[in-house]
Chains A and B, each alone.
Chain A
Amino acid sequence: MDNLLEYAASGGRLTAGEILELLTGADLTELGIAAGLVCDRLHPEPVRTYVIDRNINYTNICTSGCSFCAFYRPPGHPEGYVLTTDEVLAKVQEAVDLGATQILMQGGLHPELKIEWYESLLSAIKSSFDVQIHSLSAPEIVHIADMSGLDIETTLARLQRAGLDSLPGGGAEILVDSVRVRVSPGKASTSEWTEVMECAARLGMKATATMLFGHVESLKDRVEHLIRIRDMQDRLNVFTAFIPWTYQPSNTALGGTTPGGHDYLKMLAVSRLALDNIPNIQASWVTQGDAIAQVALRFGANDIGSTMIEENVVAAAGVKFRLSEKRIIELIHGAGYDAAQRDTLYKTLRVHSRMESVK
């Protein structure tokens, strides 16, 4: 194990077997030390980052019916909604007033909306605001293509022309079809998710990749997911960041329990060690809370994600953490780093020196 940890910390590429060995055999703090060394080598400047953005969930009506989701409502449900363009624009305005540089629009797989609806929404935002539209996860792209009778590449190209800048990594869940058929049978398959990323790469769009863990998947499935993402990145160089987060069971059909802080930090550190070709790893304060998110900055994460002026999906599963920009800066400073606001593509916009918060 010592040799493997040293090899991993030196940036050596890990096999699936080795990744599994780290997940099952290494101590938490050992993984943290190794992941921290890799993170420091990739990000040698003593700066850790965040982005100011707003999640806008344009609809909660969804035909997918994922058993881990507490947010969606099936078509015809009285609590279903679709935001109007004006409502979305008002939310964007509020976000921009609070300093947001990024809009993260995601919604359910709505059974009636076609590509024209999305195009007009995107261009309405883009014509009024100077924000990066980091929106529409791969399953939504696949669904919009289906609804509109288009192939994925044409769909993505049209959305890009209308103003879509980059794709969030949601909907990846676990990219192993035997897991997907159990928890999200109505959602894009592994190959469809991959195809969206291939098209995005060809169109010069960037994306992130996520992993939702702690539901029905095995440790082997987690490893397979990491390897898939790493292979894709070797071919496509499309991912700016990887974001592992934990399943939240409240109000979901699947139920069960959520992984603890231990499993989260372990998975985060192993992700940093396994994904040698992805520059950034994000901590998830939305699912972990501020204390663990801060600790995550010493377990391989170099970015604490976004201020999320609005977040509905995780909140629907009973977890409501709220962090202000001030608090995010405070957490980064408390971990011993300067805090930098970044844009979607990880360009530094503003640095808050940790000397500011030294009393």
Chain B
Amino acid sequence: MNQLIAKSEIADIIEKVEAGERLSFDDGVRLFKSNDITTIGWAANLVRWRKNGNRTYYIVNRHINHTDICKNRCKFCAFSRSEGEEGAYTMSIEEIVARAEEYYADLKYTELHLVGGLHPAMPFDYYTGMLSALKERFPDVHLQAFTAVEIKHIAEIGGYSVEECLRRLKDAGLGSIPGGGAEIFAPEVRNQVCPEKMTGDEWLSVTRTAHKLGIKSNATMLYGHVERPEDRVDHMLKLRELQDETGGFMSFIPLRFHPINTDLANLARPRSGIDDLKAVAVGRLMLDNFPHVKAFWIMFGLKLAQVALSFGADDFDGTVVEEKITHRAGAETPEALTVTDIRRMIEETGTVPVERDTVYREVVR
């Protein structure tokens, strides 16, 4: 194999990967600019095997988007609404628990994934209240809730510091936080895509605080808009630095910009399966201190998500019941997959499906 790789324009970078050396900013940029996706994938797969062996993870979970009312109204988001607008909703705590109840009997899911808009009026107690109500009803279910952006908002609503806010949410049952809202850290790109949102530094700061309190999280990267390869690598290196410091990240989740039905559709680059695989594979190669890389099938589609499992990803995500954010933006994937579907697709790649909980412990049923 080495003889075949030796012909690649990125052979020197692959050598570093094989030797276990950390890749540089320039290496990352060259990888993104290279068209040799199979060689990049081969190297990423090598790292994936080193870290996770033949295991491919999935989770049985349920998403609940408790409100779509959002004061930010990021232009790329097809999900958010203003109060009073058609389609605007906010679930009461009772409704949230009832939603969670709907599938629990059948699925016995291990995670509830709660993400919503930045509601301008709901009080701090709403958030602690939903966590403790869910925890009381489902003590064994892990609550992964509120992106860094929401955390900052909830802290402001409650008049607390981010740290105090996170402490109180954790006491109420918060298990970990999802990786959303990271987008792309580079300010000039962020200003075009989501000027309404907290800065990259703020996102990193909230995440650092969470990690220091023992709250694990994931990290996303939104790509496929106006960002350059340099911006992607910068984003990854900032994540890598924070991970060196805290060790609190579990997985890296690349998300393709999916702006159908939004004002920013004109900023989107045409969908490219090769670029999707690159985001996964280069992520795996650059983020040498992240244990996991996720191929989020809702974004990628099933066929490409399956292929991504040979390009560095070791996590197929979950049987996501009820996902609205991507689907309002025109995703054509089904809204839910069965465990049988997921296991079959993983097995087809020659790896072993392992059901995990949120923090990547094997679930034995």
- Which residues on A sit within 8 Å (CB–CB) of B309? 262
- Which residues on A sit within 8 Å (CB–CB) of B311? 29
From A33, which residue of chain B is reached at the shortest CB distance?
Answer: B38
Bitwise interface map of B from 1 to 32 toward A, beta carbon under 8 Å scored 1, else 0: 11111010000000000000000000000000
* A265→B270 CA distance, assembly (Å): 22
- Which residues on B sit within 8 Å (CB–CB) of A28? 41, 307, 310, 349
B293-335 residues with Cβ-Cβ distance < 8 A to A are: 300-304, 306-307, 309-311
- Which residues on B sit within 8 Å (CB–CB) of A334? 270, 272, 274-275
Most buried by A among B1, B275, B311, B344: B1
B323-365 residues with Cβ-Cβ distance < 8 A to A are: 344-345, 348-350
Q: Which of A1, A6, A260 touches B345 (beta carbons < 8 Å)?
A: A260
Would you call A27 and B301 a contact (CB within 8 A)? Answer: no
A13-30 residues with Cβ-Cβ distance < 8 A to B are: 27-30
Q: A260-B303, A261-B304, A290-B271 are in contact. Are A29 and B349 (CB under 8 A)?
A: no
* A6→B5 CA distance, assembly (Å): 10
- Helix, strand, loop or mixed for chain B's interface? helix
Q: Does A171 contact B (CB under 8 A)?
A: no
Q: Does A66 contact B (CB under 8 A)?
A: no
From A25, which residue of chain B is reached at the shortest CB distance?
Answer: B350
Would you call B274 and A298 a contact (CB within 8 A)? Answer: yes
Q: Does B277 contact A (CB under 8 A)?
A: yes
Would you call A260 and B310 a contact (CB within 8 A)? Answer: no
- Helix, strand, loop or mixed for chain A's interface? helix
- Which residues on B sit within 8 Å (CB–CB) of A289? 301, 303
Q: A5-B4, A291-B303 are in contact. Are A29 and B274 (CB under 8 A)?
A: no
Q: Does B37 contact A (CB under 8 A)?
A: yes
- Which residues on A sit within 8 Å (CB–CB) of B348? 259-260, 262-263
Q: A6-B3, A295-B277 are in contact. Are A29 and B45 (CB under 8 A)?
A: yes
- Which residues on A sit within 8 Å (CB–CB) of B303? 260-261, 264, 288-289, 291-292
A316-359 residues with Cβ-Cβ distance < 8 A to B are: 327, 330-331, 334-336, 357, 359
Would you call B349 and A295 a contact (CB within 8 A)? Answer: no
Q: Does B89 contact A (CB under 8 A)?
A: no
Interface residues on B, range: 35 or more
Q: Does A178 contact B (CB under 8 A)?
A: no
Would you call A27 and B45 a contact (CB within 8 A)? Answer: yes
From B344, which residue of chain A is reached at the shortest CB distance?
Answer: A257
Interface residues on A, range: 35 or more
Q: Which of A294, A327, A357 touches B273 (beta carbons < 8 Å)?
A: A294
Bitwise interface map of B from 263 to 279 toward A, beta carbon under 8 Å scored 1, else 0: 00000011111111100
Would you call A262 and B304 a contact (CB within 8 A)? Answer: no
* A259→B36 CA distance, assembly (Å): 25
Bitwise interface map of A from 262 to 294 toward B, beta carbon under 8 Å scored 1, else 0: 111100000000000000000000001111111
* A265→B349 CA distance, assembly (Å): 11
- Which residues on A sit within 8 Å (CB–CB) of B277? 295
A200 to chain B, nearest CB (A): 34
* A257→B348 CA distance, assembly (Å): 12
* A2→B3 CA distance, assembly (Å): 9
- Which residues on A sit within 8 Å (CB–CB) of B349? 28, 260, 262
Q: Does B35 contact A (CB under 8 A)?
A: yes
Would you call B4 and A291 a contact (CB within 8 A)? Answer: no
* A331→B274 CA distance, assembly (Å): 9
Would you call B4 and A34 a contact (CB within 8 A)? Answer: yes
Would you call A29 and B310 a contact (CB within 8 A)? Answer: yes
- Which residues on A sit within 8 Å (CB–CB) of B4? 5-6, 9, 30, 33-34, 37
Q: Which of A33, A264, A327 touches B270 (beta carbons < 8 Å)?
A: A327
Bitwise interface map of A from 284 to 315 toward B, beta carbon under 8 Å scored 1, else 0: 00001111111100110000000000000000
From A1, which residue of chain B is reached at the shortest CB distance?
Answer: B1
Would you call B35 and A5 a contact (CB within 8 A)? Answer: no
Would you call B39 and A295 a contact (CB within 8 A)? Answer: no
B85 to chain A, nearest CB (A): 32
Would you call A298 and B38 a contact (CB within 8 A)? Answer: yes
Q: Does A36 contact B (CB under 8 A)?
A: yes
> A257-B344, A259-B348, A261-B304 provided; 14 other pairs, C-beta below 8 A?
A6-B1, A27-B350, A28-B310, A29-B38, A30-B1, A33-B39, A33-B42, A260-B348, A261-B302, A261-B306, A261-B307, A292-B273, A295-B307, A331-B270
- Contact surface of B with A, Cβ cutoff 8 Å: 1-5, 7, 35-39, 41-42, 45, 269-277, 300-304, 306-307, 309-311, 344-345, 348-350
13 pairs of residues in contact across A and B, judged by CB atoms under 8 Å = A27-B42, A27-B350, A29-B42, A29-B310, A33-B38, A33-B39, A37-B7, A260-B348, A262-B307, A262-B309, A290-B273, A292-B303, A298-B36
